[in-house]
A and B are shown apart, each in its own frame.
Chain A
Amino acid sequence: MKKLPGVHAPHKKNTARFPAVPLPAPKLVRIPMSMHIGAPAKPVVAVGDAVKVGQLIGEAAGAVSADIYASVSGTVSKIQDSEPATGERGTIVVIESDGLQSAVETSPPEVSDLASFLAAVRASGVVGLGGAGFPTAAKLSVKDVSQIEYVIVNGAECEPYITADTRTFIDDAELVWSGVRLLSEYLGVRSIIIGIEDNKPEAIAVMKKYCAAEPIASVASLPALYPQGGEKMLIYNLTGRAVPEGKLPLDAGAIVINVTTLAAIARYIGTGMPLVSKRVTVDGSAVPDPKNVIVPIGTPVEDVLGFCGVKPETVRKLLLGGPMMGAALPSAALPVKKQTNAILAFTEADAEVPKEKPCMRCGRCVSHCPMRLTTVEIQLAYQANKPKELERLKVGLCIECGCCTFSCPAKRPLTQYMKLAKAELRNYQNLVKAQAEREAAKLAAKTAKEAAE
């Protein structure tokens, strides 16, 4: 099996040895009703309501959606449709904290079979916590469980700086293992593989100990090559299977679940406490005191930065997520979400974007693409406005991992070109489809008319 390419991004796992410390209750939290892929949750609280930690405030709207729970105790002060100051769209529930963090009384849910397990996953409010935010209950609700040959626990954590998943393995080892047990018991999976990059020897050692005592899973030590944690990369590297174009991992017989996601499910099933806080790595050149912090969901990013000694005036770039795929924030008032695993703050020197130079066709974007796409031709086809060429080059497969931009010596924003090219191809395909439908309708009308005559 040929190895997939990638890039040797600097690891910068400065916080790997720091167990997470809890953030003191923030003054207020701003909890968006859409922290997942799918329909936004519907608020079930009103302004003025008193809420406790773990109380349902947003109800899942449909199969692909997720419940949302209060992360602090206090009073609902506002329910906003949007927040122009930060550019947020969608409903936000604002809770003013009383500082007490008093929690609702919880009891472990009854879990005895697959249906009750899935119901518990749904009730936990858990979504893909590695960053994707896909509702986990929807992912695990497969028609036929026997389709699942492999469950891969994703602990690759290939993004530079981030150590939140690493700390989950170490700090929450018991939870991770009870999650593995749940998967083994209710999904009846033949093979559970815990994939961890080899630059996290401590996490590997911890998991190996569990696997040795109870052989229901195995640990795979993966080479630390970004984007090792990409779903398609993990499946290919651990099973030798490629997810077919336009299909799901399940079509390759695999389900990939992030380790922190798994621990959150296990916590709910063990205690009844749903997802209300998140372990977040805070690092970057503007952070004097890098840490892993347990943050109530909805906490403004600036509160977390303040806790880590960041001077606001030194920050010129603020990222939610890692430096390869994370999003740059326009405002530090934006909240920490369920799928947030890192807050990175950078100074002026690291905020600048290098100037774009002409492409010299060196092909580094091609040789570093983990999806084996021909990036150099795709960017040219996009600039020349050739959607058919984009279709032939299969730009739709791009996972937007950033390897092409990272490796380009001409400093071209290739990943951005790829995203734009994907959008252009979609538009073109929709156009072609609409045209075909129009013509089919015309033809049908014509035959109907002829038949009538």
Chain B
Amino acid sequence: MSEPSRLFVSPSPHIRHGDTTARIMGDVLIALAPALVAACLVFGLRSLLVAAVCAASCAVFEFAFEKLTKRVNTISDLSAAVTGVLLAFNLPVTIPLWQAVVGSFAAIVLVKQLFGGIGRNFANPAITARIILVLCFASMTAWTREWIPAGTDAVTTATPLAFLGRGESVSALQLFLGNHGGSLGETSALALTLGFVYLLIRRVISWETPVVFVAAVFALSAAFGLPPVQSVLSGGLFLGAIFMATDYVTTPYTFWGRVVFGVGAGFLTVVIRKYGSYPEGVSFSILLMNILTPYINRWTIKKPLGGAK
């Protein structure tokens, strides 16, 4: 003991909480599982294939880029896998696999790694990749579904937002369960809500952004003369509000910042749905709010205890 070298000296504190980056990302993957099961029921097993291809290609791009630029390998933190699954959830089940790989490249290399890797990107990788794919490929708007209720015979179908746009009515229950057209992970509000509850219980995310986002869309849809329940349950709102608008890196870390983010994203979503040339506005609105996030943080940071203004 008199030998000083045996003792390990480090700055305080000397104990840590058990949470790690990998555990948090693992929790997000678990929370995404119900929606993946729903996707398999609604669109068939190809959903699994698309998700696997996206997750694997994201991981490969992350590994390759970090190897190439001699950065520390971050595969084990599972953030690339989360990006991959989220990207898959934003794609139609019929997407050619090579296009999905292009999406993974955009998400990991263009949006995440070129800005410095985890924690440094200003935009949500999966959302931005989805937008790039929508602009590039027509296949992104070919919505199909496998599980067809008796009495219908269509294979290709429009999304509920397209129906609503034409003034047709859509069953709220069908929307809630997810039995309708759309990208593969977005349709079942039920499954996504299960994931939301799990993330809340595990304290991975807080309730503010998703609840305020959905509430804002509900209220503003009513104000703009859209059926509010159907508006909330269709499109990528639940997926976006629960899993994309709560991304740590690209959304505010203050309570009021998260409220502002939710209100802003909700407003933009409804405006785009009502007046935009695309039927869906969730991804664009989240991306726009991502850009505002540093400012929202700056405006909403708390006054320190005893600190003068």
Contacts and interface: CB of A to CB of B under 8 A. Distances in A.
Interface string A404-417: 01111111010110
Contacts of B120: 358
26 contacts: A7-B17, A245-B304, A245-B307, A302-B2, A305-B1, A312-B1, A323-B12, A323-B13, A327-B12, A328-B8, A332-B2, A351-B8, A363-B248, A363-B252, A371-B304, A372-B302, A372-B307, A377-B297, A397-B305, A400-B12, A406-B13, A409-B20, A409-B21, A409-B24, A411-B20, A415-B13
B136 interface: no
Contacts of A329: 7, 9
Contact of A160 (B8, B15, B304): B15
Size range of the chain A interface in the assembly: 35 or more
A288 B306 CA distance: 43
A236 B306 CA distance: 10
B249 interface: yes
Interface in B44-78: 72, 74, 77
A9 B119 CA distance: 26
B140 to A, nearest CB: 29
Interface in B278-309: 297, 301-308
Given A330-B9, A357-B74, A366-B253, 4 more contacts: A326-B14, A366-B301, A370-B305, A400-B12
A50 interface: no
Contacts of B308: 244-245
B13 A362 contact: no
A325 interface: yes
B1 A302 contact: yes
Contacts of A405: 12-13, 16
B306 A397 contact: yes
B167 to A, nearest CB: 43
A370 B304 CA distance: 9
Interface in A400-453: 400, 402, 405-411, 413, 415-416, 419
Nearest to A326: B12
Contacts of B1: 302, 305, 312-313, 315, 332-333
Interface string B109-125: 00000000111100000
B305 A415 contact: no
B254 A366 contact: yes
Contact of B304 (A326, A346, A372): A372
Contacts of A316: 6-8
Contacts of A362: 24, 248, 253
Contacts of B11: 328, 413, 415-416, 419
A354 interface: yes
Interface residues of B, number: 42
A350 B8 CA distance: 10
B69 to A, nearest CB: 14
Contact of A328 (B7, B19, B117): B7
A253 to B, nearest CB: 14
Interface string A246-264: 0100000000000000000
B221 interface: no
A244 B306 contact: yes
A232 B306 contact: yes
B1 to A, nearest CB: 3
A360 B119 contact: yes
B17 A397 contact: no
Contacts of A87: 4
Contact of B79 (A360, A370, A376): A360
B277 interface: no
Given A243-B306, A362-B253, A372-B304, A328 B21 contact: no
A371 to B, nearest CB: 5
Contact of B4 (A330, A372, A413, A416): A330
Nearest to A319: B14
A11 to B, nearest CB: 12
A439 to B, nearest CB: 26
A325 B253 contact: no
Contacts of A400: 12
